[in-house]
Structure 1
């Protein structure tokens, strides 16, 4: 099986999904590394409600095996009051079996987020996603300031991970800087995963 980076995200209005696509392009620009896009179902306060096992559109739902066998993980969520969204947290809360076996130890990981306002909790959301990754023993990686877009962006972009200003109605497309930082994040995790596996590859 070809090594892959799991780009696992939840997206309500499409902005986080757009970021995931850009990150996946960055991953696949590194020779020998594949991007696997996966999402999680919404959660409901109604106990009887359930989602179909296959979504109507977009990425497939993530399985435990997708997570177990990945070479690296990039986790994405819209901001919910400065925190990751409940569906993603619910999925992560169910990964105890992977924690018990140490399946994710020493694998590189990163995070990305989208907010409706510029100061809507991007950095705190990224930090909230960092916590379970550290508990799983993963190697968390942000974006270094060698990425020049970090210094000039007027939209999203943080050293803690990629971010996007989507606007109140999720009407704003990814800016050039946001896109470049998404690509850079995908490339960085793919490159690190290759090095950790002893298959250090250059960009395609």
Structure 2
């Protein structure tokens, strides 16, 4: 049997969400579980397949099998008008076979996001990612206030999941944001061990 892993599945356009995904993976692995980083291709109006099956750089594209076999899932997206980005939603819309088979029922899940403005819809984006996870029967986990950074962060960080305020200049993660990403990863790894 394959080693259990937590899938960190994200879409990133400017790199901030990808940076968060790597911090979350660090947290997962520090808790003694493997992290599998995967992304999704951009949505295109082309009617012909025009993108390579494997991206030139960064994480490879997620397969249905990556998702079906995970012990837990952390889902990430930049904010698009208070919602997850279309490429991630497009991927999730194609997971009805997993829904029908119940492949994700009782597995832990969490979400993370990055915004260009401080009040740019971080919490609504996290909640928008929660909806398909609940339909799949997953157990959603946020960040508890036992995480000290939630009390003093001046950038991103919510009890609904990890977040980042990139600003107009695509600022790097603050120390609090990085700590909360890692804490979310640790929490998902711990829950995945308990629920599997």
For this structure pair, what is the TM-score category when the shorter chain's length is used for normalisation? over 0.9
Separation in 2, partners of 1:28, 1:120: 30
Deviations 1:114-150 (A, max 9, x none): 0001000000000000000000000000000000111
Quote the residue 1:3 is aligned against.
4
Deviations 1:75-113 (A, max 9, x none): 000000000000000000000000000000000000000
For residue 50 of structure 1, report the CA deviation from its aligned partner: 2.4
For residue 49 of structure 1, report the CA deviation from its aligned partner: 5.3
Equivalent residue pairs, number? 195
Quote the residue 2:29 is aligned against.
28
Deviations 1:64-85 (A, max 9, x none): 0000000000000000000000
Alignment partner of 2:124: what SS? Answer: helix
Instruction: Work out whether residues 111 and 130 of structure 1, in 8 Å CA contact, stay in contact via their aligned partners in 2.
Output: yes
Instruction: Work out whether residues 104 and 137 of structure 1, in 8 Å CA contact, stay in contact via their aligned partners in 2.
Output: yes
Would you say 1:165 and 2:165 are equivalent positions? yes
Would you say 1:13 and 2:14 are equivalent positions? yes
For residue 44 of structure 1, report the CA deviation from its aligned partner: 1.0
Would you say 1:42 and 2:37 are equivalent positions? no
- Counting only pairs closer than 5 Å after superposition, residues 1-204 of structure 1 correspond to structure 2 as 1-31=2-32, 33-48=33-48, 50-170=50-170, 172-197=171-196
For residue 45 of structure 1, report the CA deviation from its aligned partner: 1.9
In structure 2, stretches of 5+ residues that fail to align are none
The runs of 4+ residues in structure 1 deviating greater than 3 Å are none
Alignment partner of 1:6: what SS? Answer: strand
For residue 177 of structure 1, report the CA deviation from its aligned partner: 0.3
Alignment partner of 1:44: what SS? Answer: coil
Separation in 1, partners of 2:161, 2:21: 12
Alignment partner of 1:160: what SS? Answer: coil
For residue 25 of structure 1, report the CA deviation from its aligned partner: 0.2
Instruction: Work out whether residues 42 and 51 of structure 1, in 8 Å CA contact, stay in contact via their aligned partners in 2.
Output: no
Deviations 1:154-194 (A, max 9, x none): 10000000000111132x10000000000000000000011
